[in-house]
Amino acid sequence: MNLVLGVSGSVAAYRSADLARELMRAGFVVRVCLTDAAEKFVTQALFEALTGQPCLTSAFDEPVAGRMAHIDWARSADVILVAPATANTLNKLAAGIADDMLTTLVLASEAPLVIAPAMNPHMYGSEVTRNSLDELRARAASIVEPLEGDVACGEQGQGKLASISAIVDAVREITARSAKLAGKTVLITSGPTREPLDSVRFLSNRSSGKMGSALARAVMLMGGQATLVCGPGSARPPLGAQVVRVETALDMLEAARGLAQRADLIVGAAAVADYRPEQSAHGKIRRSSEPIELRLVPNPDVIAELGKVAKPGVRIVGFAAEPDSALDAARQKIVRKGLFAIAVNNVSRPDAGFDVDSNELSLLFADGRTARSGLQSKLSCALWLLEQIVDSP
């Protein structure tokens, strides 16, 4: 496995030499990228000698002529570790600033990211750094918390680089996760459906597609191929996912049915309209003083239909949007829809469910087991959910 070790300018940079060796012993091919400030503490020559690989120091380095290193290394990395991460580097990574080789490389990469901060305790505790850490966690970066103790500047508090074994363990954990869906295709339904009333109006709901897109990204972080059948939503699907766009529940069923036979796992995160207008008028229904009646007919149950065409033994996971935390209705859906499990989100909360970036899931398995995710970013919830499903007996 290819690991890029980014080293930024903290006194703790001296420990990244031992860290590089430990990672090599753990089986990683380690390539190092130094920031300008890191070069005040450690040298390119040191890491080239230790790793036997070129070490990048400037945004224009190009060890292989004609291949831009920031793209080349970003693509080939299986994991990126930034250790030590200074306040400056950490805050730049969170903000998406790319003004040197390391930050450019991280921004250009889809690889899982591990960050081991080391800095003055006040810098670590500052609101800016806290917000950056939250942002990075929301993007599924693994943060190896610094330790409490005496730091180089003479102060005491949380800011010492974590132990080398803790950092190597975090890298091992994230790379183990990144192989869990290797070679597998996961079909995800996402977003709302729109059921037309006439040529300009439709019935729909508040789903944004964020949960479905987070699931697709999580599948990719776990090494799988994501196929997203999504209704019209604002969330942008991740680059690299196969995306099929649909409008109505009937479209969604048709598209997903064709893809379900190739899927190794199916997740229904879409908020599919249960009913559609029996008739959709051509043109625009004109205003008059008379009431009009709207007759609705039931839509097919997409996820239940997919169970009929999926490969034998494929796990099908539904979502349940419930207005409270009662789980009985969701349990009935497991049976009615033939699901392996259902993830319940309480859509009456302001920080969960529709159109927000966080969620909290109660996962109910068909065999009676239950688990809870806690309140997390949708991406972290998605990773948690997929790991629960993949690790289930």
Pick from 71, 76, 59, 157: nearest CA to 111: 76
Task: Name the residue nearer to ligand PMT (CB basis): 81 or 211.
Answer: 211
Closest CA to 222 of 334, 112, 121: 112
Q: How far is the CB of 364 from ligand PMT (least distance, A)?
A: 12
Dist. CA 274–CA 134, nearest whole Å: 36
Q: Which residues bind ligand PMT (CB under 6 A)?
A: 189, 191, 207-211, 249, 268-272, 274, 299, 301-303, 318-321, 333, 337, 345, 347, 353-355
Tell the smallest beta-carbon distance from residue 269 to ligand PMT (Å). 5
Residues in the chain, how many?
Answer: 393
CA 64 to chain centre: 32
Residue type, 240: G
Catalytic hit among 33, 55, 153, 230? 153
**Distance of alpha carbon 217 from alpha carbon 318, whole angstroms:** 18
Give 183 or 374: the residue with its C-beta nearer to ligand PMT.
374
| 127: amino acid identity, one letter | E
For the bound state, the minimum distance from the C-beta of residue 356 to ligand PMT, rounded and expressed in Å, comes to 7
Nearest to ligand PMT of 18, 351 (CB atom): 351
Q: Which is nearer to ligand PMT, 39 or 355 (CB)?
A: 355
- Identify which of residues 3 and 256 has a Cβ nearer to ligand PMT in the complex: 256
Q: Buried b / exposed e across 225-244, counting CB within 10 Å, b at 16+?
A: bbbbbbbbbebebbeebebb
Question: Shortest gap between Cβ of 11 and ligand PMT (angstroms)?
Answer: 43
Q: How distant is the alpha carbon of residue 153 from its chain centre?
A: 36
User: Least CB distance from residue 305 to ligand PMT, whole Å?
Assistant: 8
Q: Which two structure tokens, joined as six digits, stand for 55?
A: 């070490």
- Residue 79: strand, helix, or coil: strand
First-residue to last-residue Cα distance in the chain = 28
Q: What is the C-alpha to C-alpha distance for residues 112 and 106, in angstroms, rounded to an integer?
A: 10
Q: Is 50 or 371 the residue whose CB approaches ligand PMT more closely?
A: 371
153 is catalytic: yes
Q: HSE-up of 177 (CA within 13 Å, CB side)? A: 26
For the bound state, the minimum distance from the C-beta of residue 151 to ligand PMT, rounded and expressed in Å, comes to 41
Q: Which two tokens stand for residue 276?
A: 């559609």
- Min CB(265)–ligand PMT separation in Å: 13
| Matching residue, tokens 């969330």 | 235
- Classify 301 as helix, strand or coil: coil
Nearer CB in complex with ligand PMT: 156/234: 234
What pairs with residue 169 in β-bridges?
none
The residue number with the shortest CB distance to ligand PMT is 268
Nearest alpha carbon to residue 265 among 177, 361, 341, 329: 341
At closest approach, how far in Å is the CB of 270 from ligand PMT? 4
Contacts of 306 (CB under 8 A, 6+ apart): 187, 256, 257, 260, 266, 268, 316
| Distance in angstroms (rounded) separating the CA atoms of residues 279 and 295 | 8
Looking at the Cβ atoms of 129 and 189, the one nearer to ligand PMT is 189
Q: What three-state secondary structure class fits 141?
A: coil
- Catalytically annotated residues: 153
